[in-house]
Chains A and B, each alone.
Chain A
Amino acid sequence: MSGDTSYIGKPVRRKEDRRMIQGLATYVEDVDLPGLHHVAILRSPFAHARIDGIRREAALAFEGVVDVITGEDTTHIGTVPRSTVLPEEVNSPRTPVLAEGKVRFAGEPVAAVVATSKEAARDALELVEVDYDPLPVASEPEAALADGAPVLHEGIDDNLAFDWTLAGGELTWGDARERADRVIEQRLVHQRLAPIAMEPRGVVARFDPGTEETTLWTSTQIPHFVRTFVAIMLSIPETKLRVIAPDVGGGFGSKLNVYREEALLCFLARRTGKPVKWIERRSENFQSTIHGRGQTGDVQVAVTSDGKILGIHYDVLADLGAYHQLLTPAMPAITGLMLSGAYAIPHITIHVRGVFTNRMSTDAYRGAGRPEATYVVERVADLVAAELDMDPVELRQRNFPSEFPYETATGLTYDSGDYVKALNKAIEVGEYAGLRAQQAEARAEGRLVGIGLSSYVEICALGPSSAMPSGGFGWDSATVQVHPTGSVSVLTGVSPHGQGQETSFAQIAADKLGLDLDQVEVKHGDTHAVQYGVGTFGSRGIAVGGVALYRALEQVIDKATRLAAALLETEADQVRFEGGVFHGPDGALAFGEVAFAAHVAKDLPPGFEPGLRATAFYEPENFTFPFGTHLCVVEVDPELGTIDIQRFLAVDDCGKVVNPMLVDGQIHGGIAQGLGQALLERVVYDDAGQLLTGTLMDYAVPKAHQLPRFQTERTETPSPVNPLGAKGVGEAGTIGATPAVVNAVVDALRPLGVRHLDMPLTPDRIWTAIQAAERSKVGAR
């Protein structure tokens, strides 16, 4: 880095806020076009049924309706894509845009109506008649694997998408067991969650018959991916498809996907000749936007009596849902890779069976495989500590890796870290010893107070292309376009949707070029304006996209330096660029002057190309591994079963920080979602595959009064992987928080003999667990 950091590291207020606080932002639903038509989608009410016939005449006759299509009209459209690096073969049945002869989950699109108004489209939808012949339902993985279970996809008689084992480390599982003093076992459930971005999905498509170009506005985290895959699905040249992600109202992984509706609307725009719009209703969002988590596993941990973990064996069923979406099979793979957690564990086995069920697909939701792994490892840490009657802090300290880089039994190389430091900071700031003393007093009074820790590590800056869960596409890109006046446009391949990179990237560029923040504009999300990029997910914005920007800035400075040297009549190595000024031995030029000269081009040295612009594609050499320790203190009301979070302290290390205000914001939001999983959230289907949590009346997104104030602290261990030293922060809060809460609540109930509780920790569950514990105590007497 150049020495001058007048923006980096500071809590610079966001550039994007101006439009957002005044209602001037543009989300997909705000896109209006002349002659816009509206699309409504008919979805299956059944989880599993044959479609014997569809009658669309009445709908077609409805006033305002211009088209009604069914699966018969879309058989030529390619499958919704999925990608993964799972080495084993993955059964990948076709995911049709509209159901073809059969529906496999409640909410699967069956027909689409195009009309002049959204009212007409909605009204006519009720006139499409579908003859369903309901089939037996496999709503849960266990049911789907049972003898005689209904088969979802022809030719996949066992409903298995894959059966994958990863085993590694310096010991075998057999050795680890043999050397262990105990093997502790526990079943762990990672309930399905709904991501619930506040903006539901939405798609607008327009076809221009003159240029034969389709423009697709979509609420996505990955506009370029959507362009590539929709072009493939529709068999059109990628050059003829422009994808625009305007302001996107949150994603959390749910918009890291290619969805049926994106291809469908492009198809309808061309077929009807009308611009078309579809806006997802919240109930559709619950039914047919991806869910997260959905793993149930049995963990065994081999441990010595002094608390050294020798091996983890995890046998898990992944509830994939009815079809693959983009990353469906990759989620449990990430869980497997991350099963070493923050510890040096000599052996790890993960055995995953990915099971098709009559439900919506699971895929990446904030954390995407790491929350599952972290929950396993951190529950294991506390289970072991409890069983050995050891302090959970000591247990953790005893198992941290002693040096970095550290290679895990699963084959990852942790780039850098100081896990002891983060844990120590948490126990110092949190006054852990004092908390334990207070807990002892509370227990003596019969109160249920618990303290929970979670020392997590996660995998970010996704990532090296050869190791990406998406099967490649790990890099990202940036263009720095310097204008003649010296102002700068940054075109980034990542696609922020709340992370604030219009600001943080401007900070990087302004610092590096010595400009005011206002002289830099960051553009993203339009495939016709921005060079190919990958997108925003996997906490990669700064650590991949930001590094691409850094590289592009270096190229621009390099070129500008050469020009400045020529203009100053000296050699490039005699020119020093500092604070936006090129200093030569006998004079100086401002950045703007050099930019102007580069465009006027009158005084360019021979062979010097006019203009000042550079594009960089950055391929990371490794992932980065942020880490930290979260500390949670709870008190349980034994009568109501409610949980009062009295304290939540997060110590996170995300490497070097560009904007601490944004980092805190990411941590806060992440913790809220982590607490949501621990305490409130779950997607529930009944045995018939009907969604029982289909509205916000039944699915609990955390509200302001249900959350405590979070205390955030940091340690800063730069990543050696990239020149910014950044590791990534988008998912850390979610990954770290969940087990801290569960560990705290289990700790609170420990005096009653409770050893584990499944999430979400609803009052009913807590109360029931307390009742059971008291009954078993009475029984034991």
Chain B
Amino acid sequence: MIPTSFDYVAPESLDEAVALLQKHGDDAKVLTGGQSLIPLLRLRLARPGVVVDLRKLSDLGRIESAGEALEIGAAATHAEVMNSAAALEKCPLLSETAGEIGDVQVRNTGTIGGSLVHADPAADWPAAMLALGATMVLSGPQGERAVAAEDFFVGLLESAAQPGEILTGIRVTVPRQPAARAYRKLAQSASGFALAGAAVQLALDGDTIAEARIGITGVAEHAYRPREVEAALTGGALDASSVETACASAAEGVEVLEDIHAGAAYRGHLASVLTKRAVLAAIERAHGHAS
């Protein structure tokens, strides 16, 4: 209930923040919304000496259109992404995914960057990041570097962000048009995290799928792209049975998680079903929109 004692710093600039992290190394934790960090502090599962709060770096909260891309500050809250007109217009999969996260209070406080760095295997954002082919922008002592989403999630609660690095933003290229998208998840009944979740971003071409990118969360140690499914969908027809067949291998080649909430067989099955449902929902929505 009560965290261990720590020092608190709210740096005025990104450089200052990076310098603080460099100085304190593993002893420092970055705080944005706190929805992942503070429960860990309260249960004393995290015991930092210094908490570096990024709240004064107002640039980190921006969501901006930049030509064919969307730049999302890492400290934008889930609710800000959900309600962003730019996101809704250019990349509605972001808004849809944001709306599925946690609850109202968590969405009001938690940040996209905080969630991504925490890399919870059942978090919602990683699925969308993979489906969108997003790029994570990290700042560290050596300056800025960009990491593709599929290189960003590397293990259980482990992202590619190195100690001393701060995730500052997420860059999303506006999906190829005409586009279709959907996120489908089955929530773990207590936590609201995904037992499994599938985010789908499609490019359509008449009666076929021209391109498919899919991110699956909740099923493995970290979110992943089911490449076989993507390949099977690409160039394929839009009918339910073709889609179902293509999605059957959504958990193939993956070491599926098992816990008291869902066994591996069921989780693997969910990956296929939710992927199928997301693809079909995306298509249906796109057609509804077109007509």
**CB-CB < 8 A to A641: which residues of B?**
266
**Chain A window 457-496, contacts with chain B (Cβ cutoff 8 Å), 1 for yes, 0 for no:** 0000000000000000000000000000000000000000
A692 to B191, CA, bound (A): 14
- Determine the residue in chain B with the shortest Cβ distance to A680: B189
B129 CB contacts on chain A under 8 angstroms: none
| Interface hits, B173-216 → A, CB 8 Å | 186, 189-191, 195
Contacting chain A: which of B60-68, B87-95, B133-141, B255-263? B255-263
Q: How far is the CB of A637 from chain B (nearest CB, A)?
A: 9
Task: Give the distance in Å from the alpha carbon of A764 to the alpha carbon of B188 in the complex.
Answer: 11
Q: Mark A109-122, 1 if CB is under 8 A from B, else 0.
A: 00000000011001
**B266 and A763 contact, CB distance less than 8 A:** yes
In the assembly, what is the distance between CA of A642 and CA of B269, in Å?
Answer: 13
Which of chain A's residues have a CB closer than 8 A to the CB of B262? 762-764
A706 to B192, CA, bound (A): 11
Nearest residue (CB) in A for B265 is: A768
Which A residues between 676 and 709 are near B, CB-CB below 8 angstroms?
679-680, 684, 692-693, 696-701, 706
The reply to whether the CB of A281 lies closer than 8 angstroms to some CB of chain B is yes
Residues of A in contact with B (beta carbons under 8 Å apart): 118-119, 122-123, 281, 283, 639-642, 679-680, 684, 692-693, 696-701, 706, 762-764, 767-768, 771
The residue that B2 contacts in the complex, of A122, A699, A764, A771, with Cβ under 8 A, is A122
Q: Are A698 and B266 in contact (CB under 8 A)?
A: no
Q: Which B residue sits closest to A693, measured CB to CB?
A: B260
List the 7 closest A-B pairs by CB distance, nearest first.
Answer: A700-B190, A700-B189, A764-B266, A697-B191, A122-B2, A281-B1, A764-B262
Asked whether, in the complex, the Cβ of A640 is within 8 Å of the Cβ of B1, the reply is no
Quick check: B191 and A764 within 8 Å, CB to CB? Answer: no
In the complex with contacts A693-B260, A698-B191, A767-B269, A642-B2 CB distance below 8 A: no
Can you offer 17 A-B residue contacts whose CB atoms are under 8 A? A122-B2, A123-B4, A123-B5, A281-B1, A640-B273, A684-B260, A697-B190, A697-B191, A698-B190, A698-B260, A698-B261, A700-B189, A706-B189, A763-B195, A764-B261, A767-B266, A768-B266
* Complex Cα–Cα for A771 and B191 (A): 26
B280 to chain A, nearest CB (A): 12
CB distance from B199 to the nearest CB of A (A): 17
> Which residues of chain B are within 8 angstroms of A699 by Cβ–Cβ distance?
190
Question: How far is B261's CA from A700's CA once the two chains are assembled, in angstroms?
Answer: 10
Complex-state Cα separation, A118 to B2, whole angstroms: 8
The CA-CA distance from A700 to B195 in the complex, in Å, is 14
Residues of B within 8 A of A123 (CB): 2, 4-5
* A679 / chain B contacts, CB cutoff of 8 Å: 189
Output the nearest chain A residue to B263 by Cβ-Cβ distance: A764
Select from chain B the residue with minimum beta-carbon distance to A694.
B43
- B contact set with A: CB distance below 8 Å: 1-2, 4-5, 43, 186, 189-191, 195, 260-263, 265-266, 269-270, 273
CB distance from A410 to the nearest CB of B (A): 36
- Is the pair B263, A768 in contact by a Cβ cutoff of 8 Å? yes
A701 to B195 CA separation, bound complex (whole angstroms):
17
When distances are taken between beta carbons in the complex, the residues of chain A under 8 Å from B263 are 764, 768
Across the two chains, which residue of chain B brings its CB closest to A280? B1
Q: Give the docked Cα–Cα distance between A697 and B102 (Å).
A: 11
Residues of B near A281 (CB, < 8 A) are: 1
**A688: shortest Cβ distance to chain B, in Å?**
14
> Which residue of the partner chain B has the closest CB to A122?
B2
Residues of B within 8 A of A697 (CB): 190-191
Provide the residues of chain B in CB contact with A700, threshold 8 Å: 189-190
Chain A's closest residue to B277 (CB) is A639
Tell me, rounded to whole Å, the shortest Cβ–Cβ distance linking A240 to chain B.
32
Instruction: Write the chain B residue with the least CB distance to A284.
Output: B1
Cα distance, A642 to B189, chains bound together (Å): 11
Closest to B270 in A: A640
What's the Cα separation between A684 and B1 when bound, in Å?
Answer: 23
Cα-based distance from A641 to B266 in the complex (angstroms) = 9
- Would you call A692 and B260 a contact (CB within 8 A)? yes
* Across-interface contacts of B189 in A (CB, < 8 A): 679-680, 700, 706, 762
Closest A residue to B273 using CB positions: A639
A381 to B116, CA, bound (A): 51
Q: How far is the CA of A697 from the CA of B273 in the complex (A)?
A: 25
Q: When chains A and B are docked, how far (Å) is the Cα of A696 from the Cα of B270?
A: 23
Q: Contacts of A283 on B, CB cut-off 8 Å?
A: 43
Contacts of B190 in A (CB 8 A): 680, 696-701
Q: Tell me whether B1 and A122 are in contact (CB under 8 A).
A: yes
- For the complex, give the distance between the alpha carbons of A742 and B190 in Å: 20
Residues of B within 8 A of A693 (CB): 260
Chain A, Cβ-Cβ closest to B1: A281
Nearest neighbor of B267 in chain A, beta-carbon distance: A764
Considering the complex, give the chain B residue whose CB is closest to the CB of A767: B266
Q: How far is the CB of A121 from chain B (nearest CB, A)?
A: 9
A764-B261, A764-B262, A764-B263 as given contacts; A119 in contact with B2, CB under 8 Å: yes
- 16 A-B pairs besides A281-B1, A697-B191, A768-B263 with CB distance below 8 A are A119-B2, A123-B2, A283-B43, A640-B270, A641-B266, A642-B186, A684-B260, A698-B190, A698-B191, A700-B189, A700-B190, A762-B189, A763-B262, A764-B261, A767-B269, A768-B266
- Residues in B with CB closer than 8 Å to A763 are 186, 195, 262, 266
Chain B residues near A692 (CB-CB < 8 A): 260
- Chain A residues lying within 8 Å of B273, measured Cβ to Cβ, are 639-640
- How far apart are the CA atoms of A771 and B273 in the complex, in Å? 14
A767 to B270, CA, bound (A): 10
Chain B proximity of A158: nearest CB distance (Å): 30
Contact at A762–B261, with CB atoms within 8 Å? yes
Taken together as a complex, chains A and B put the C-alpha atoms of A438 and B123 apart, in Å, by 39
Which single residue of chain B is at the shortest CB-CB distance from A120?
Answer: B2
A88 to B15, CA, bound (A): 75
- CB-CB under 8 A from A762, the residues of chain B are 189, 261-262
**A62: shortest Cβ distance to chain B, in Å?**
12
**B2 contact set on A, CB distance < 8 A:** 118-119, 122-123
- Chain B nearest CB from A523 CB (Å) reads 33
Q: Which residue of B lies closest to A641 (CB)?
A: B266
Q: In the bound complex, what is the Cα–Cα distance between A639 and B43 (angstroms)?
A: 37
CB nearest to B189 among chain A residues: A700
Report the minimum CB–CB distance from B264 to chain A (whole Å): 10
Assembly CA distance A67 to B191 (angstroms):
38
Expressed in whole angstroms, the Cα–Cα distance for A641 and B261 within the complex equals: 13
From residue B15, how far is it (CB to closest CB) to chain A in Å? Answer: 34
With known contacts A118-B2, A768-B265, A768-B266, A640–B260 Cβ distance under 8 A: no
> A258: shortest Cβ distance to chain B, in Å?
24
Shortest beta-carbon distance, A46 to chain B, in Å? Answer: 19
How far is B43's CA from A523's CA once the two chains are assembled, in angstroms? 39
Q: Whole-angstrom distance from the CB of B290 to the nearest CB of chain A?
A: 27
Distance A530 CA – B136 CA, assembled complex (angstroms): 65
Q: A679 to B262, alpha carbons, bound, how many Å?
A: 14
In whole angstroms, what is the CA distance A701 to B189 when docked? 8
A326 CA to B112 CA, complexed, in Å: 49
Bound form: Cα–Cα A764–B262 in Å: 6
Query: When chains A and B are docked, how far (Å) is the Cα of A699 from the Cα of B188?
Result: 10
CB of B179, distance to nearest CB on chain A (Å): 26
- CB closest residue in chain B, given A119: B2
Shortest distance between the CB of A289 and any CB in chain B (Å): 16
Question: What residue in chain A is nearest B269 (Cβ atoms)?
Answer: A767
> Within 8 Å CB of B261, what residues of A?
698, 762, 764
Q: How many whole Å from A581's CB to the nearest CB in chain B? A: 54
A771 surroundings in chain B (CB, below 8 A): 265
Q: How far is the CA of A642 from the CA of B266 in the complex (A)?
A: 12
Contacts of B266 in A (CB 8 A): 641, 763-764, 767-768
Q: Which of B195, B260, B263, B273 has the most CB of A within 10 A?
A: B260
A41 to B: closest C-beta gap in Å: 12
Q: State A283–B42 Cα separation when bound (angstroms).
A: 11
Contacts of B269 in A (CB 8 A): 767
CB neighbours (8 Å) of A642 from chain B are 186
Find chain B residues with CB under 8 A from A119 CB: 2, 5
CB of B52 to closest CB in A, whole Å:
22
Q: How far is the CB of A27 from chain B (nearest CB, A)?
A: 16
User: What's the nearest-Cβ distance from chain A to residue B188, in Å?
Assistant: 8
